[in-house]
Amino acid sequence: MKDASRLPYWPRAMSEELAAAYAGGISVTTLRREVAEGRAPRPHHISGRRVVWFIEELDAWLDRIKGHKAPKVPETKQTPNSWAAAAAAAAGKTSGQRRSSLR
């Protein structure tokens, strides 16, 4: 996204590029480095390869940088989304089983 300042609102779940723009216009590379070093919130996989950052977690991170005593957002355990769980159940698999690589 070239000019995020033209958005009428910020969505609750943001792509990597939009999350970097929301965080003060930092580069995607800087956002990745901050995540890798544990300072920025980690992204969430919502489906397939789709990865998003939630605005509440970005706000808490920016408040901590600013010096406010914002509560640290607890890191949630990544669990399969409901669509993946439903598809696995329909295929007769239970949660936690992996597909065989011998297909």
| Structural domain range at position 60 | 4-90
Which residues have a Cβ under 8 Å from the Cβ of 73 and sit 6 or more positions away?
41, 56, 57, 60, 61
With vertex at residue 43, the alpha carbon angle to CA 22 and CA 74, rounded to the nearest 5 degrees, is 100
Dist CA 25 CA 3 (whole Å): 10
Residue 76 lies in a domain: yes
Residue 62 lies in a domain: yes
Give start and end residues of each alpha helix (H) in the chain.
Answer: 16-22, 28-36, 55-66, 82-90
Residue 98 lies in a domain: no
Task: Say how many residues make up the chain.
Answer: 103
Number of folded domains in the chain?
1
pLDDT along the chain (103 residues), means of 10: 67 95 94 95 94 96 82 56 60 55 53
User: What is the predicted pLDDT for the residue at 9?
Assistant: 87
Q: In what order do the strands lie in the sheet with 44-47?
A: 13-14, 50-54, 44-47
Enter the tokens of residue 37. 């070093």
> What is the pTM assigned to this prediction?
0.59
Residue 97 lies in a domain: no
